[in-house]
Amino acid sequence: MVIDFSKILNKQQRQNIANAFLTPFSWLYGTGVWCRNAAFNAGILKETSYDVPIVSVGNITVGGTGKTPHVEYIIEGLLANYPQYHIGVLSRGYKRLTHGFVMARDTLTPRDIGDEPYQIYHKFLGHIALAVCESRRKGIEEMLKIDPAINLFLLDDAFQHRYVKPKVNIVLCDYNRMPYNDRLLPLGTLREPMYRMVKQADFVVVTKCPNDIKPIDIKLIKEKLGLFPSTELFFSNVNYGNPVPVFPRANVKLDNLSWMSSDDFILGLTGIANQRPFVKYLRQFQAGVRVMHYDDHHDYTREDFKDITRVYSQHKGRRKFIVTTEKDAVRILNNAYFPPEMRDYIYYIPIRVGFLNYEDREFIPELVRRIQA
């Protein structure tokens, strides 16, 4: 006999049972994290410093804080205003099918270097060097051998990778999931306790803030984070651009989602860690919306595209489009299984980071000041 607890217990009771079950595992995880950090702090595990300044962009939660658009914002700001920097970007290349050190080049695909590194590399093609490697130390050393002109490194998602000692640590926090309201894995989404961010972050950026965030909210966040006076605190938001065809030669135009009416239909397609802001964005328009969500960095299969095409065909609409994220677009563009007959109808929404005017400071000049200190 199988007991369906969902019919016996309410949501809060089920959550309490799950919390009780997961709490010992969270304690064990926290103990392991504490021991590892203590080993680094005591010098048992060694951090390596380099003559080239290194900026780490990371977080203390599992995914979804906006690391890639912030890395792109930093690259764009440095290229525009500080041309003396020859930037090297180093990432792990999550969910790539290769192993070890791989230097990005035009002939490689997202499967070779990962979707986010591929996106960054092609967005700044010819202006940066980029590589992927599980070992950040090996990655830095190999990149310097190949391109000795690199004089600034950006490490993507490297706050937990303590074998490299960065000159500047940037830690991102999601406004909708602040660390002081969270718990350690697997009870919550924290990779490590908030105190390490407080102790070792040079910059904390609260991401995905509402455009109309109140001064009192900023004050409360600042108080609850409890950062040192030397830590720079910034607030950023996400700005969505107009739709862009995934396949550049699309014959059916979709210039602006606001032009769609209630007679139109959007099939949202996401394979990202936190799809909620993107879905919320799609639902603000008049068109009917259905969303198909896959795991973060999902590698779409032939069967996935059959399901997507079936759902798309079932829905009626005067005009119908598939609208996806920029990260998903990278994987779809390079996927041979995507149906050719659907290429005219799939668009992605580009996103850009914007920094809120907080205490009349600008992020890029403050970052450069820390790099040069």
Annotation: binding site for ATP: 61-68
Q: In angstroms, what CA-CA distances link 167 with 134, 138, 209?
A: 20, 18, 27
Q: Give strand pairing partners of 169.
A: 56
- Rounded Cα–Cα distance for residues 321 and 253 (Å): 10
Given strand 320-325, what is the order of strands in its sheet? 244-245, 346-349, 320-325, 265-270, 288-293
Which residue, among 233, 179, 178, 228, has the nearest Cα to 199 in the 3D structure? 228
DSSP string, 149-186: T--EEEEET-TT-TTB--SEEEEEEETTS-GGG--BTT
- Rounded Cα–Cα distance for residues 94 and 89 (Å): 14
Strands 87-91 and 351-355: unpaired
- Are the CB atoms for 239 and 354 separated by under 8 Å? yes
Phi and psi torsions of 252, nearest 5°: -105, 120
Query: Which residue ranges are tagged as binding site?
Result: 61-68
- Are the CB atoms for 348 and 243 separated by under 8 Å? yes
Which residue, among 331, 332, 328, has the nearest Cα to 350 in the 3D structure? 328
